Amino acid sequence: MKRLVQDVLLAHGGAERVFWTLQAGASFDDIVIGLTGPGLLSRGGSWRVLREMAPGEDMDPRDALVRLVEAAHREPRLRGPTLVMHHHAGLQFDLPPGAATLYLHTPTRFLWEPERAIWETGIFDAAELRDLRARELWSIERARAIFTNSAYTAGRIRRAYGCDARVLHPPSELWTLKARPGEGLLADSRPYVITVSRLVFTKGLKELMDATRSLGLPLVIVGSGRASASLRVAAGRHVQFITGCSDAELRWLLQGSAAFVSFSREDFGLAAAEALCEGVPCVVPSESGVAECIDESSGTTFCPGALDRFREALESVLARPRPPRSRVAAYRQHFSGRRFVQALVRAVG
């Protein structure tokens, strides 16, 4: 039996897309989800959920995260070949030596990088934090193999855990769907730039809105999150927010955009990879995982916090021709779900 353990599964994130790709691969006999958002499991499947959030709880999931850690501690030891998909608390499950392969989206931010986990600060007291860190290090030492989504994240894993991780870029299957026009989605017919993100303050969306305003470019923001109301108040007339669109509609929105833009230091940045697979040029921070996949024909990078550099980068990208078909085909092969699933299943054993 091969087991898949997904610690946190929330909507509109890279972890969600990776999970569905693995689940569709039908390589696992047993699937355990630690914590999931409301309504996410309606797509069907066979799995066991330790806890499902109540409606609205995903906007401030402090208590849910505490209960996830408690549930993980109560779980019996995971025996047999297991793939643990770690995003927030996956390493709190009891892993016997050599049984589990880890795919680390990120080190647990509230334990190792508290400055990048503002909303999570203060959930646990000092003694609890020491215990959680010890359990993570204990699990890391027992892993059969450790994978992560980018060289950027691998460096952060090395600093947090003192170990090396193999890089396996995540899958992007959006381009396999038939794009469907979103009737009434776009309020402005002018060429626009697009970003896809959870609406939280750590994603740099306020800076992105300011930068695109100075260029006079319409900006489409696709996503939802607890900072939605505040961001909408701060947005100018050039910004349009879109929530609740389907994957087919998202592909259509990407295809119609002039560029994908982001100010967020993402562990990888799967939405940007989905744009690359559509031939949409990307402008992303140099401190992000997807930056290592971008070349001169498909976009450019800039130093985070440098608005002038961002404007220069975006203007240069908009002046270039679109990437050639051969480059787009290479991206689609590189980010294929089949490649990703096969690599992880081989590692599980």
Determine the pLDDT at residue 113: 82
CB 121 within 8 A of CB 102: no
- Dist CA 131 CA 136 (whole Å): 9
Which architecture characterizes domain 174-334 according to CATH?
A: 3-Layer(aba) Sandwich (3.40)
Which tokens belong to 251?
């592909």
Own/partner pairs, 97-100, CB within 8 angstroms, 24+ separation = 97/142, 98/142, 98/144, 99/142, 99/144, 100/5, 100/139, 100/142, 100/143, 100/144
Q: Does 174-334 match 3-168 at the fold level? A: yes
Q: What is the predicted pLDDT for the residue at 263?
A: 92
Ranges of residues in the chain whose predicted pLDDT is under 50: none
Predicted confidence at residue 259, as pLDDT, reads 96
CATH 3.40.50 matches 3-168:
yes
Domain residue ranges in the chain: 3-168, 174-334
9-26 burial, b at 16+ Cβ within 10 Å, e below that, comes to: bbbbbbbbbbbbbbbebe
pTM for this model (two decimals): 0.89
User: What was the pLDDT predicted at 276?
Assistant: 96
Query: Residue 279 in contact with residue 322, Cβ under 8 Å?
Result: yes
